[in-house]
Amino acid sequence: MLLASRMVFNLVNTQCIRIRIMLDTGQIALNREALMLFRQGLAAASSLDYEQAVAYYDRVLDIQTDCYEVWYERGLALESCGDYIEAIASYDRALSLKPRPSSACEIWHERGNAFHYGVGDYTQALACYDQALKLDPDHEQVWHNRGNLLLYGMSLPEDAIACYDRTLAINPEYDLGWRNRGNALADLRCYDAAIASYDRALALKPGDPVCWEARSLAAGKSGLPYQQPTTSPIYTTGYGDQTFVEGDTDSNIVFASAHGIEAEISRTSLGQPLLIIEDDWGKREILLERDRYSIGRDPKSDICLHSQFVSRQHAILVRVNHANETVSYQITDGDSSGKPSTNGLMINGKKCRSTELQSEDAIVFGPKVQATFRMIPAGLMNFR
């Protein structure tokens, strides 16, 4: 038995979630050469070498095209490479080969994740999750991702809560389900109920800094006379090795708007624009002072992002001066000629071509590479 595993990089922060599908490679209908290559592909994927895994799967498919397991694993590897469109095409080929219901459920689920967290097509993603739930109504991860989609993608917190409730009915020990349920309740301004959900999450995972911060913010909104202690100011917390959909990515970015807890610093009091980058080299802060920045993997970029998932010329950042003497920045996908990047931009969990950034906007360039745009209040600049 070989374990084919891959990390799901859904979208708002989380612990690492791995979906493991047991493949009895001895039972897969491949000839000897194809089976050897398939096993090499699985081994490469397990070592996180997804490009090499895709190369092996392509060699298998050159020999034999009618094995849905190969198309499925190829889709997982492509998704991990950030090539979501090709991943979806592989999942479609897998589904066309009429897999058994349990496998079809997982394929529909992953197809939904690619649309949800990769392409940003929430209508297609929702349809995929619904297809998966027809095959397995008790699949906790599908219910959870469906809830994330409704909350963070479509801004439907009440519908999201119903999904999280289904998740927690199946697995009441799922801390991310409780945390995201708390976020949905906070979005509805039901702060006391949100705190109760955060407490359930923290009982299961006491060391979750994202949940502690969310609980602290909810406590402040609810008017409670106490807040949970923090070890550093808010403007320096909330960043770890997680990303942008609660319970399904790799970053501790907290979306204030998704939680219904907006920053309460008036725009006229904001001072220095700052970009907080997280990529393969770790986290760093860049003070934005110039009129224009190029962003990309190219070492000659003004802001160089260190990740294989980023295009060489991924985006352009342009300074915007307002009449009230405040400053912001407009971010636009692609290079200076207008050629779009491979993965595009996700702003606060939504696919975006161009937008003027607001303080605390979360920008995702690809798996495990993101940034937060922040306006540092003038009064805090001397303390940094």
- The H or E element that residue 256 is part of is helix 256-259
* DSSP labels, 142-209: HHHHHHHIIIIIT--HHHHHHHHHHHHHH-TT-HHHHHHHHHHHHHTT-HHHHHHHHHHHHHH-TT-H
Query: What gap in Å lies between CA 304 and CA 194, rounded to an integer?
Result: 39
The answer to whether the CB of 171 falls within 8 A of the CB of 147 is no
pLDDT in tens, 111-145: 999 998 888 788 999 999 999 999 999 999 999 99
Confidence (pLDDT) at 264: 37
Q: Backbone dihedral region of 368: left (phi > 0), alpha (psi from -120 to 50 degrees) or beta?
A: left
Q: Which amino acid is at 336?
A: S
CB 12 within 8 A of CB 246: yes
The pLDDT, as a whole number, for residue 36 is 94
pLDDT the model gives residue 285: 85
Q: Which domains does the chain have, with CATH numbers?
A: 30-65+67-137 (1.25.40.10), 266-383 (2.60.200.20)
- pLDDT tens across 205-232, in order? 998 888 888 898 899 887 654 444 333 2
* pLDDT value of residue 132: 98
pLDDT tens digit string along 288-334? 989 999 999 888 899 999 887 788 899 999 999 988 888 999 999 99
pLDDT over 70 at 92, yes or no: yes
In this predicted model, what pLDDT tens digit does every residue of 278-289 receive, in sequence order?
888 888 888 898
Q: What is the pTM of this model?
A: 0.60
Q: Which has the minimum average pLDDT: 32-36, 234-238, 316-320, 356-360? A: 234-238
178 has pLDDT over 70: yes
- CA 148 vs CA 18, 93, 124, 243, 249: distances in Å: 17, 27, 14, 13, 11
273: closest CA among 286, 257, 284?
286
Find the mean pLDDT for residues 187-200: 94
pLDDT for 378? 54
Question: What is the percent of the chain with per-residue pLDDT over 70, rounded to a whole number?
Answer: 78
What pLDDT is recorded for position 59? 97
What is the residue-wise DSSP string for 73-124? HHHHHHHHTT-HHHHHHHHHHHHHT---HHHHHHHHHHHHHIIIIII--HHH
Give the DSSP letter of residue 235: G
Task: Tokens for 274, please give them.
Answer: 């700052």
pLDDT of 101: 95
